[in-house]
Amino acid sequence: MSDFWLRPLTTLGFLSLLSLVVWAIFSATAALGLFSIALLLLLFYHLHSLDALEKWLLKPSPDSVPHGAGIWEYSFASLYQLMRHQAHAQQELAAAVERLQEAAKAMPDGVVILDNTDRIEWCNFMAETHFGLDNERDHKQHISYLLRQSQFADYLHAHNYTEPLILKSTRNRHITLSLQLIPYGDKQKLLISRDITQLERIETVRRDFVANVSHEMRTPLTVVGGFLETLLDMPDADPEKTRQYMQLMLDQTHRMQRLVDDLLTLSRLETTQSALTEDPIDIPELAKKLHAEAQSLSAGRHTIHLVLDSNAWLRGNEHELRSAFGNLISNAVRYTPANGEITLKWAQLGDEIVFSVQDTGEGIAPHHLPRLTERFYRVDLSRSRETGGTGLGLAIVKHVLSRHQARLEIASTPGKGSIFSACFPSQRLIEQHPDSRN
């Protein structure tokens, strides 16, 4: 038998024994009276304890549990322990909820908790940013009152949330959001929002890239295929015409080879995970070599100057810088009319060291300048193809300079020419020949 029943039975046994003693000494009437008075007092004590328990139940707290004796002492002690355990469990639950909310606040995605009637119970900062919500102001507001796009209303009421909903942000039309509702619990839902603007741009770039590469490859392949068909249909072809056809096919093959080489170079620059080599590079000597190559490429059609105002070297990757500078020079040669002038210059300007290529070509209109480093972007499409450009040169230059913490500056005046400058920070500068240092 537990202590809960032992204590009241002990009390009743003691009263019964005391009544028998009084009966034996005095009389049955005295014994009955004593027993009745004791029971009344015991009943009053229980009623008093019940009253204290009722008042405590109105405002329960572990620190205000009533005190008692006998069976009530045991009951109040058990109640006190229960309240302590409950308070501890509530503290742990509150801490867990707080940690969960802090984690949700730190998420890069928006999170909105909806109740079983699609009213807002809680949202994190990113959801406030995406939808213009306020966690306190919009508490218990219906989500459809605040997200008024018809696509979202249809998505909410369709109850088919296996696929996310893509729509533009109401706060910024340039931002694209992916929304997905996740049911849980008793008809409650999580609304997850994610900014996929960059992913959408990447997908657009990918589609444009595939379309541009296909377009660039189609023309030379068509030329080569056409001439091959012509040669097959001419069993007694004139050797002179055959040589002419072969030369044209070779030119188109070289064009495709340049395109493939540039694509591989650009892919390597965009995906490389290796650290940039920090070799000392003799830029004046490299500029002299590039100057000789430019004269060979020009074949006497231009006057090409080389100006070396600095003997400084650079730290970096010589192969990548040679490719970048070579692209700037070849562009100048291709797009500068005959008898024009091209100037290659290596000079220190303030805190930067600059390699620039200046030409007296046709120049570029201002609205084209921000897009020149995009892959396959051309100012004059037909003229670019005639000169043999792939449309990837400046994109390669941009990535090479970015890996060297440098930048490309473009200044151009239509009808007067352009200046393309690769500007390097002073921390990449080597003031003197490395071998001359102590």
Phi then psi for residue 26, to 5 deg, are -105, -90
End-to-end CA, the chain? 97
Q: In terms of domains, do 300 and 403 share one?
A: yes
Residue 206 lies in a domain: no
Query: Residues 290, 392: one domain?
Result: yes
Q: Kindly state the average pLDDT of the residues 75-83.
A: 77
φ/ψ of 412, rounded to 5, equals -150, 145
Domain match, 314 and 399 both: yes
In order of 118, 130, 215, 407, the CA distances from 396 in angstroms are 51, 35, 20, 12
Please state the domain count of the chain. 4
The residue with greater pLDDT, 74 or 413, is 413
Phi, psi of 114 (to 5 degrees): -110, 140
54 lies in the same domain as 84: yes
Residue 341 lies in a domain: yes
Residue 381 pLDDT > 70, yes or no?
no
| Arithmetic mean of pLDDT, 103-123 | 86
Q: Are residues 337 and 311 in the same domain?
A: yes
* Domain that includes residue 174, residue range: 107-195
In tens, the pLDDT along 24-75 reads 777 777 777 777 777 777 778 778 778 777 777 777 777 777 777 767 767 7
Instruction: Write down the pLDDT at residue 271.
Output: 65
User: 372: domain CATH number?
Assistant: 3.30.565.10
Q: What is the pLDDT of residues 315-346, one digit of tens each?
A: 988 888 988 898 899 889 988 998 999 999 99
**Same domain (yes/no): 384, 322:** yes
pLDDT at residue 438, as a whole number: 42
Q: Is the same domain home to 72 and 37? A: yes
- CATH at 247: 1.10.287.130
- Determine the average pLDDT of the residues in 176-181: 91
295-301: long-range pairs with CB below 8 Å, 24+? 297/329, 297/330, 297/333, 298/333, 298/342, 301/338, 301/339
CA-to-CA distance for 61 and 162, rounded, in angstroms?
46
pLDDT digits (tens, 9 = 90+) for 271-300: 655 666 788 999 999 999 999 999 988 888
Residue 247 is assigned to a structural domain of this protein: yes
Q: What is the pLDDT of residues 220-268, one digit of tens each?
A: 777 778 777 777 777 776 777 777 777 877 777 777 776 777 677 766 7
Tell the burial category of 52 from Cβ atoms under 10 Å away from its Cβ (0-12, 13-18, 19+). middle
Let me know if residue 203 belongs to a domain: no
Task: Identify whether residues 86 and 152 lie together within a single domain.
Answer: no
The verdict on residue 38 lying in a domain is yes
Query: Based on the domain organization, do 233 and 382 belong to the same domain?
Result: no
| CA distance linking residue 260 with residue 395, whole number of Å | 14
The verdict on residue 204 lying in a domain is no
Residue 180: closest CA among 194, 170, 198: 194
